[in-house]
Structure 1
């Protein structure tokens, strides 16, 4: 029986595979274990700080600007200059680290492809390790994919997008890799294996403004950014590349983080190339932050767009902060996907995308996100035609008017109605997404939108809050109070609708019933779990206890 060759203190409990063994080498695991040992206590501390903040919010408190770091917000400092290689980020595409997706995304005409180990990926052992193999091949430009059904071979074009990689958030473990008797920190596994194989082993091809490039998710405070900065500095020393070679964009996708944008950029000032409006997770975080506040109930999620005051202020302040510090202010995700069987509906959806992206570029964003290759050219046309031939708007869109944005502006309750259809849509989307996630798919097309963990989280926490406070739904013209009994009836009815929509055969083969039970439980528990995927993660962990040995 083949075994992974591991250093002392490391155990692999995932399935053995010859390709995976090329990633899980002794030296690479030694690098990951070194990161874990140096930073695990710091990670524990920031997780405890999150729990303490949650207690404050649940006791009636709110996030806000920290008086102790006023000097950072008011200081006249800038981040390191943006490297010319990524000066133009007008349109970026995101997706999981699946082989065909990587090739198509790098080829699609986008300026950047963000390869995602986080919200768009179900973190099974197979997905994570195959993702590392795929990225190694992409960096080496040897990646190909043979689609046997179409008898077509996919390979990279001569000109491709710049590759950014998003590791998981600090909160997620990697239960298949045990270091000193405890699960590894997921993001250090993702970062460490990718960095080691693509930037330690091949250092001559990188550095000097050509990366590597990363996106950092789910942070709530600058102390979390400080850990990442220290991780990067250690990695650069190991690789023998210049300090600041690693460049990162932070997703501002939690409500507490919007009050820490200057501070995060300051901690990462030698490594940062900007901030991004992770708007779907941001809506999720707003509900989660105010989960104990009955006066902070959001309307149906389809009504919580960028026209809402708190969302517009979030975007404007991010632009002002980034441009003041000399880095990119990236816009949010266009989640629409082409509607192939209805040209009129497809054009209407594209027009919504164009309007949203026109709003972003006129507000001052330097670029934006899309979930599907079919959106790249329409979005690129909007941005290039409105940026006067410039690669970005860092020097021109200063947005000094955003200096007047207050804490209350950033937390103002959105206007709108709450409806039975909103409750049903949340339930339908949440169950179908979770069913796909449990079977290994983390990015799912549903009702002409690409759904990932962020939108599933909105569905879950909004249902939970409406049930907890017995919210009265009035958006359908009839007032009805949300109760556990009503929700149980909705779950039952939406399960039947899902069965009709996907077909009996697919419903029976899939994990829809299991997903329905998990989702219903998550929406009705007395205390809201921080993340849906933490509860579900144990269901996709498959241990093979005799796959590694220290030789």
Structure 2
């Protein structure tokens, strides 16, 4: 079966260009445009591999998504998440995961970013121990981004990746020593609208994983993995049922490739509130394939609001106040460390979202000091490594971890865990404290609109107000506004006595759009999708029922660019 390789049809008055097609297996339909480079990724055998995964696991994924809906209904009716009594034996038994491969024993500083070509080179050359190449929160899922990302990663694994920056007349290449490569596919909930299998959109993460694994597992194991790999980060899971699907995917891929069981290794992001009560169970399901858990703290904050959207007594303060000093956040981090080390794997810390402030040395030093304090807290708590959003942060973070870990590759065997063993459900569900202000409402609005405008035009990681914003931080802005509106929060500070209402929010949106215009300029505002982003973001903040994900709702509004001009997905 052959499939048309473009989304855009020529008008009846223009001459039709010669069309090219992807060679696809039976039941597979490619609806993204044809490109010769993409065709090297979208081979018939690679697509057959993806289709086989889709057919084997789509029923399991659909069931897992239905279970998420049931849990949401349960929480909305007043229930609280907690430890599952049925799996108590897993939490209390003395089992361990497979030993961490020597190739990734030391992960003290990891950098993350989208699968963009220059970013990949700079991140691999950054001096970090690991680069997490992101198909998820830091990437807008346009056809161009996704397929170009697969091309870029294939070249990176092969060591041939380069980039010519024509504006600077500079060629970027890999150093002799580079970071280890981890790849984060999308979450289970996200579809891939450009690839259909048996008449329905493919599951996005199976496309990301399948294409990358198929083309790179052999080279990766030889060049980066020391006989193991490829290595992955797994996002957005809510329970061990979803981890079991991933484990089965890994086993299926290993079997088809003819490599040893346990070759693929993954770190799970604990970035949903329900998942914190399932950490032992998640590791148990992935025990032959796990190298640890990560504190995905921005998504975790987002999940706190989403989980408790029906609870008027659990309102967040301003987003800038919801840090690791909050009792529920600190407890989450401590329990993750205790759980990982008990099971013999890495406990990875959270993201430092700051970026260098080049035109203000004093402000830059203040930001760096915040980063150093945060990372000192993490390493002293027992984390084996942490995340940075920008290469400029790596020397400072590396110094903190080196000073406290010395020559030890990690802290798996060296940390006492007795205190963390006493962490209770009440600790993990402790209500956050702090003020809610008009400035907090304004910042959420400003950040949410600007991020979504960038995402709609193909950029998934955006520097705003000296922080690197991605989908996770934009989600916090969105759900916090929704929560404040739903419960008519009374503001503190300059907004003392004023309740958050649709009228107030409407006025704030108008005023913040005017500020955005002043900051970016009229021309950029006109060319960008700021007005469309404003409409989508405002609607998502004011709907009666909270949308599960900003990106899922906005997916069909992404603008794709091609030689004939922009078009909607």
Shorter-normalised TM range:
over 0.9
Aligned to 2:548: 530
Aligned to 2:43: 25
CA drift at 1:479: 1.8
Indicate yes or no: 2:113 matched with 1:95: yes
Give the counterpart of 2:318 among 300, 316, 324.
300
The 2-side partners of 1:296 and 1:107 are apart by 43
**Is the 1:207–1:241 Cα contact (8 Å) retained in structure 2?**
no
Residues 416 and 222 of structure 1: CA distance in aligned 2, closer, same or farther (over 3 Å):
same
Aligned to 1:55: 73
**Is the 1:208–1:242 Cα contact (8 Å) retained in structure 2?**
no
**Is the 1:77–1:325 Cα contact (8 Å) retained in structure 2?**
yes
Q: Which deviates further from its counterpart, 460-469 or 532-541?
A: 532-541
Aligned to 2:10: none
The 2-side partners of 1:90 and 1:202 are apart by 21
Mark the runs of 5 or more structure 2 residues left unpaired by the alignment.
Answer: 1-18, 563-569
Aligned to 2:352: 334
Aligned to 2:229: 211
Residues 158 and 204 of structure 1: CA distance in aligned 2, closer, same or farther (over 3 Å):
closer
Aligned to 1:245: 263
Indicate yes or no: 2:142 matched with 1:118: no
The 1-side partners of 2:400 and 2:68 are apart by 39
Query: Residue 481 of structure 1: SS of its match in structure 2?
Result: coil
The 1-side partners of 2:77 and 2:432 are apart by 22
**Is the 1:299–1:418 Cα contact (8 Å) retained in structure 2?**
yes
Aligned to 1:485: 503
The 2-side partners of 1:479 and 1:83 are apart by 57
CA drift at 1:388: 3.1
Task: After superposition, give the CA deviation of every residue in 1:84-132 in whole Å (9 maximum; x if it has no partner).
Answer: 1101000000000000000000000000000000000000000000000
Residues 203 and 322 of structure 1: CA distance in aligned 2, closer, same or farther (over 3 Å):
closer
Please list, as runs of the form range in 1=range in 2, the aligned pairs for 1:124-523 lying within 5 A after superposition.
124-199=142-217, 209-476=227-494, 478-523=496-541
The 2-side partners of 1:201 and 1:448 are apart by 38
**Is the 2:458–2:559 Cα contact (8 Å) retained in structure 1?**
no
Query: Residue 371 of structure 2: SS of its match in structure 1?
Result: helix
Q: Which deviates further from its counterpart, 223-232 or 499-508?
A: 499-508
Residues 317 and 190 of structure 1: CA distance in aligned 2, closer, same or farther (over 3 Å):
same
Q: Which deviates further from its counterpart, 179-188 or 465-474?
A: 465-474
Mark the runs of 5 or more structure 1 residues left unpaired by the alignment.
Answer: 545-551
**Is the 1:361–1:367 Cα contact (8 Å) retained in structure 2?**
yes
The 2-side partners of 1:241 and 1:106 are apart by 26
Task: After superposition, give the CA deviation of every residue in 1:317-345 in whole Å (9 maximum; x if it has no partner).
Answer: 00000000000000000000000000111
CA drift at 1:222: 0.2
**Is the 2:157–2:219 Cα contact (8 Å) retained in structure 1?**
no
CA drift at 1:202: 7.2
The 2-side partners of 1:206 and 1:375 are apart by 24
Indicate yes or no: 2:53 matched with 1:35: yes
More contact order relative to length (CA 8 Å, sep ≥ 6): 1
| Length-normalised TM-score, structure 2 | 0.94
| Length-normalised TM-score, structure 1 | 0.97
Query: Residue 136 of structure 2: SS of its match in structure 1?
Result: coil
Give the counterpart of 1:106 among 124, 127, 135.
124
The 1-side partners of 2:366 and 2:106 are apart by 28
Query: Residue 275 of structure 1: SS of its match in structure 2?
Result: strand
The 2-side partners of 1:167 and 1:465 are apart by 29
